[in-house]
Amino acid sequence: MKSLTYIALVLIFTSFTFDRSIVTSVVNPPVEEEILLDLGSFAEESYNRLGTKDLFFKPYNLALKGYYQLLSKNKLRNTDYLTIVDFTKSSSEERMFIIDTKTWQVVHTSLVAHGMKTGDEFAETFSNTESSHQSSLGFYVTGEVYDGKHNMSLKLDGQEYSNSNARDRGVVVHAADYVSEDYIKENGRLGRSFGCPALPHEGYNSVIEKIKDGSCFFIYYPEKEYMKKSKFLNTEIDVQLTCDGELG
């Protein structure tokens, strides 16, 4: 009888004994390795998060190449936003896109003017020359805000051969009356600048607050010479990125 009682107690005790390996796995769950993506894979994955298909994949993909090159060279003080201007689109369409690089979502879209000698409704020709009144393609880093003839304006510093004279030419981001839906209705197209990416007055202050002081600003058009000569577009970069776009 005593032996039966002993066996019963052993069975009861065993049934309430914890497996230490199970406890350990619960308290200290295995750490999953963070998945790293190459730039091409990240571009495809993050493009689906933008929240709009009005920004085409090609300019977005190219913009990322320049953005990460500027980032790796410590050229960007403001890494929160990436601005893309797609001059393949009609000036009557919203063709400036501001992307929040924390969420990879487009947080602002806008009309934007091109230079008066660059084209009428559509942008066609570009220049880096003083007094050309043409837009300049390529990657810029935004500079300081100042009060000029267009009131609050934002300096731009060109980063490649196609826009290196931007600051000397006075190519800046500014607001203008001729950049509006009303102007398009009255004239059949958007107004044009002397080469500046001019914006509507509506929402302008918020835009400048986001992109000022060292963010990446990319003006895109598939001009043959630019596509061939741009150091940003033709440099292969080997980066590993997290799903949030951080360098791995």
Q: Across all residues in the chain, what is the average pLDDT?
A: 91
Q: How far is CA 66 from the centre of its chain?
A: 10
Q: Do the domain assignments include residue 4?
A: no
Q: Do the domain assignments include residue 119?
A: yes
Number of domains present in the structure of the chain = 1
Q: How far is CA 67 from the centre of its chain?
A: 7
- State residue 100 phi and psi, 5-degree precision: -80, 115
Q: Do the domain assignments include residue 1?
A: no
Task: Provide DSSP, 73-136.
Answer: TT--S--SEEEEEETTS-TTS--EEEEETTTTEEEEEE----BTTT-SSS------STT-----
- pTM for this one? 0.87
Domain that holds residue 194: 39-229
Q: Do the domain assignments include residue 122?
A: yes
Contact (CB, 8 A) for 39 and 65:
yes
- pLDDT at position 227 over 70: yes
Residue 18 structure tokens: 């914890």
- How high is the pLDDT of residue 203? 97
Q: Do the domain assignments include residue 235?
A: no
| pLDDT tens profile 91-144 | 999 999 999 999 999 999 999 999 999 999 999 999 999 999 999 999 999 999
Contacts 24+ apart (CB under 8 A), 56-65: 56/86, 56/88, 58/222, 59/84, 59/86, 59/88, 59/218, 59/220, 60/84, 62/218, 62/220, 62/232, 62/233, 63/216, 63/218, 63/220, 64/39, 65/39, 65/232, 65/233, 65/235, 65/237
The region of weakest confidence among 5-19, 168-182, 184-198, 209-223 is 5-19
| pLDDT tens profile 5-36 | 554 444 444 454 445 554 455 556 665 667 89
Nearest to 39 by CA among 241, 235, 205: 241
Q: Do the domain assignments include residue 246?
A: no
Cα–Cα dist 2/248, whole Å: 66
Cα–Cα dist 207/173, whole Å: 10
CATH number at residue 101: 2.40.440.10
Task: Provide DSSP, 2-59.
Answer: HHHHHHHHHHHHHHT---HHHHHHHHSPPPPPPP-B-HHHHHHHHHTTSS-SSS-HHH
Q: Do the domain assignments include residue 18?
A: no
Q: How far is CA 110 from the centre of its chain?
A: 14
Q: Do the domain assignments include residue 121?
A: yes
Contact (CB, 8 A) for 82 and 215:
yes
